[in-house]
Structure 1
Amino acid sequence: MRDFSRDHRWLSINTTTVRKQGDLLAIIEACRRHGIRGLSPWRDQVAEVGLERAARAIRDGGFELSGYCRGGMFTGDASRRQEIIDDNRRAVDEAATLGAACLVLVVGGLPQFSRPGSSPSKDIGVAREMVAEQLGLLLEYARQAQVPLAIEPLHPMYAADRACVNTMRQALDLCDTLDPEGQGGIGVAVDVYHTWWDPELEEQIRRAGKSRLLAFHVCDWLVPTRDLLNDRGMMGDGVIDIPRIRGWVEAAGFAGYSEVEIFSHDWWKQPIDHVLSTCVERHRTSV
């Protein structure tokens, strides 16, 4: 396993971690101050400053993108089908312009939550069929753009509104169905917050192997968790054995960035330099 104790070369900041402290350009400048060279921006933050301006700032700053957040939300009424296709193709195009290592996909839950205005449904099986269909359509487009697709399984508490793919096994089954010959272009993003509880996690990481492991996200699970979305912890403040999971992904061949992605009302209240300096320190001691 790589030694992170001496430097933070392989630290990436998912820009939602400090989204309340400034726009994307301010985040880029703050990361530059702290010697952080990895980023993973969100689409809304890119749109706020403009795609070309964002791409220029990333390029001029010498940054590498561990990912781009996010595509997906594949579930919706039949009348929304073309909207979903177009939206995800735009996400692929943006990721290509920015030079992202992958487009992270949060696949969507029940249609009325993923695409508001869709008819209410309680059929999660149908939702999963929609995901598989839309993923198949997007994969060929993404391959042409040379943008790998990273399915991110989310914790089951998000199954209704954000992602009906909730385990690594489910995500890898989709990969194998859509890419049975192993041509590539599709894999998984392993986020410890969403997967640490899974008794099959080590086995499924091994199954994924180097070709399917496209991203590795870190933060921590606090006890108690006060908010289902916005109470994630800084690495080392919770109960996840992050180094153990990193050991598994690296043993399987992953050698990319550890991407810090923290949704937290508490951390959003802190000065950006304090948040980033803490990320650097915890990357060395708790990742």
Structure 2
Amino acid sequence: MTGPDRLSLNQVTTKRWSLPDAVQGCVDAGIPAIGLWRDKVAETGVAEAAKLVRDAGLAVSTLCRGSFLTAPGPDGRRAALAENLRALEEAAELGTDTLVLVVGGLPDGSRDLPGARARVAELLAELAPHAGDFGVRLAIEPLHPMFCADRAVVSTLGQALDLAELFPADQVGVVVDSYHVWWDPELERQVARAGAGGRIASYQVCDWTLPLPADALLGRGHVGDGHIDFRALTGLVTAAGYTGWIEVEIFNEQVWDTPGADTLRTVVERHRAHLERA
């Protein structure tokens, strides 16, 4: 069952709220977990953020996100490694076992897609043992192919698993994000593959709505407002053995401009209507 005890609010869904506001909102709405963003944590301070969430009785489902891995050259590689090590340390201090990785797009002026993907694999090889030391799993999030140039050269769940399976499952897993994977004709097979290997680190949900805005990143809607069959997708994830948090992550200016308490009421209602009996 995917009841309310598995619901998590990804903090970006209420982007206008500070971390204290988001934590209190979750408490008031009866949402038991929160997915944190590093910029909001930085505003509060990692130690204070950890205390705030802990004192509220919330779990931290994920920390978003690690730094891009595709920068070229020794300096870019060192900077990416250092920033991701800081992110791992923050995740451990915040009490989550999952650091979401959006791997990065093509560097400015580059058309070398194979080279960018190779750098992702190389840096993962350096980061994975450190993830194990921190007790935090790197969760590779494939993004829809329209984001390949600027945000993620890993576009499918299969590609993400090809990378993750190079490392122990407790060090590197994958994110199943409904917005990014729902279209994939290989989805059923790849979700089953991820489950068989114990690789599903996070299940994130929002809907694919049309028309897409000028900034396609902001085209996500509440569950049930768009084109994704959430009962089918959640059924796949459940059949694959995933029993973790179901994290609602919405990038949408209209949602962000809505009072946060109203947004959380909708989140809870849509979870009940579309996910609880999946």
User: Which residue identity is paired with 2:120?
Assistant: V
Partner of 1:237 in structure 2? 225
Report the alpha carbon displacement of residue 231 of structure 1 after superposing the two structures with TM.
2.1
Alpha-carbon separation, structure 2, partners of 1:103 and 1:162: 17
Q: Deviations over 1:135-156 (max 9, x none)?
A: 1111011101110111000000
- Aligned residue pairs total 272
Note the 1:113-124 alignment, pairs <5 A. Answer: 120-124=109-113
Moved over 4 A (4+): none
Any idea what SS the aligned residue of 1:82 has? helix
Please, which of 155, 167, 173 is the counterpart of residue 144 of structure 2?
Answer: 155
User: Which residue identity is paired with 1:199?
Assistant: P
The answer to whether structure 1 residue 108 and structure 2 residue 94 are counterparts is no
Note the 1:29-178 alignment, pairs <5 A. Answer: 29-78=24-73, 79-112=75-108, 120-176=109-165, 178=166
The answer to whether structure 1 residue 200 and structure 2 residue 149 are counterparts is no
Sequence identity, in percent?
47
Q: Deviations over 1:61-118 (max 9, x none)?
A: 1111111100030011212211111000000000000011300000001122xxxxxx
Structure 1 residue runs of 5 or longer lacking an equivalent are 113-119
User: Which residue identity is paired with 1:10?
Assistant: R
Question: Contact between 2:169 and 2:199, CA under 8 Å: does it hold in 1?
Answer: no
Kindly report the root-mean-square deviation, in angstroms, between the aligned alpha carbons of the 2 structures: 1.1
Partner of 2:271 in structure 1? 283
Question: Contact between 1:231 and 1:266, CA under 8 Å: does it hold in 2?
Answer: no
Q: Deviations over 1:150-189 (max 9, x none)?
A: 100000000000000000110000112x22xx45321100
Alpha-carbon distance change, 3 to 55 in structure 1, aligned in 2, over 3 angstroms: closer
The answer to whether structure 1 residue 187 and structure 2 residue 173 are counterparts is yes
User: Which residue identity is paired with 1:212?
Assistant: R
The answer to whether structure 1 residue 213 and structure 2 residue 213 are counterparts is no
Normalised by the size of structure 1, how large is the TM-score?
A: 0.93
Structure 2 residue runs of 5 or longer lacking an equivalent are none
Alpha-carbon separation, structure 1, partners of 2:60 and 2:128: 20
Partner of 2:241 in structure 1? 253
Report the alpha carbon displacement of residue 3 of structure 1 after superposing the two structures with TM.
5.0
Alpha-carbon separation, structure 2, partners of 1:66 and 1:147: 12
